[in-house]
Amino acid sequence: MRIKYPWAVPGDTKMSRQARAAANLRQELATTFPGVKFSVRSDSASMTSSVDYGWTLGPTGDEVRAIADKYAYGRFDGMTDYASEDTSILGEAVEKVLGRARYVQGSRHIPEDVREKVGRLLCEAQQVDYEDCKAGRVRLQGQNDSRWLDDHVNILLSRTTFPPDPDITGIAWSNGGYDETTGAEHENGYYLTFSEPTTTIEVRWNEF
């Protein structure tokens, strides 16, 4: 861990562990996703601590969580309604080298003009009127579609990695798999096209 993170703020400083975790997370995100501005803040209260982060466009939530989740020592099982703490060897190594907080969570901001453009592109692709679909008078995928237009927009955005200064050029359909033209992997369904290609960052939690 120390070899992988030679720049990490050391644990012998006067910083709290959540403040140190926030500082190191901020640096790791900036290194992993150059050109994307992240806001990272730490906080503490009685018997708990947290790190909150946010960003606009850029990588997907899954891509960022693959970096950020290791900074949390708190675990919660929604199936059993049980909270616990990570005491694994890997968790202890993260604690010593990077610092941790009980809760680490973040959110990605999508500007409203981007949301509207994506909604209009989806409606154009499905040949339905945008205003009617937005108001719920028609459904994007026909009368048996149980989702609102905003739901479809959110699903598409959640799996879209935006390049720096994105210029959305259109929308396309993929049956899933590797796209030889762009060199990208697409899920089954619609995906956005850009004037500049995007790069997906794959980082597994157990790879630090």
Confidence of residue 201 (pLDDT cuts 50, 70, 90): very low
Report which of residues 39 and 87 the model is more confident about: 39
Its pTM stands at 0.85
Tell me which DSSP letter residue 194 carries. E
Q: What is the pLDDT of residue 83?
A: 72
Report which of residues 9 and 179 the model is more confident about: 9
Mean of all residue pLDDT scores within the chain: 88
Q: Is the pLDDT reported for residue 101 higher than 50?
A: yes
Q: Is the pLDDT reported for residue 89 higher than 50?
A: yes
Q: What is the pLDDT of residue 58?
A: 96
Q: What is the mean pLDDT of residues 89-99?
A: 94
Confidence of residue 2 (pLDDT cuts 50, 70, 90): very high
- C-alpha to C-alpha distances, 134 to 5, 69, 165, 180, 186, nearest whole angstrom: 47, 35, 27, 34, 26
Q: Which are the contacts of 146, defined by CB distance < 8 A and separation ≥ 6? A: none
Q: What is the pLDDT of residues 119-135, one digit of tens each?
A: 999 999 999 999 999 99
Q: What is the mean pLDDT of residues 68-97?
A: 86
Rounded percentage of the chain residues whose pLDDT exceeds 70: 87
Q: What is the mean pLDDT of residues 55-60?
A: 97
Confidence of residue 202 (pLDDT cuts 50, 70, 90): very low
Q: What is the mean pLDDT of residues 81-91?
A: 83
Q: Secondary structure of the chain in the HEC alphabet?
A: CCCCCCCCCCCCCCCCHHHHHHHHHHHHHHHHCCCCCEEEEEEEECCEEEEEEEEECCCCHHHHHHHHHHHECEEEECCCCEEEECCCHHHHHHHHHCCCECEEEEEEECCHHHHHHHHHHHHHHHCCCHHHHHHCCCCCCCCCCCCCHHHHHHHHHHCCCCCCCCCEEEEEEEEEEEECCCCEEEEEEEEEEECCCCCCCCCCHHHC
Q: What is the pLDDT of residue 27?
A: 97
d(CA 191, CA 118): 10
Q: What is the pLDDT of residue 197?
A: 64
Q: What is the pLDDT of residue 182?
A: 55
Q: What is the pLDDT of residues 137-168, one digit of tens each?
A: 999 999 899 999 999 999 999 999 999 889 99
The amino acid at residue 100 is: R
Confidence of residue 204 (pLDDT cuts 50, 70, 90): very low
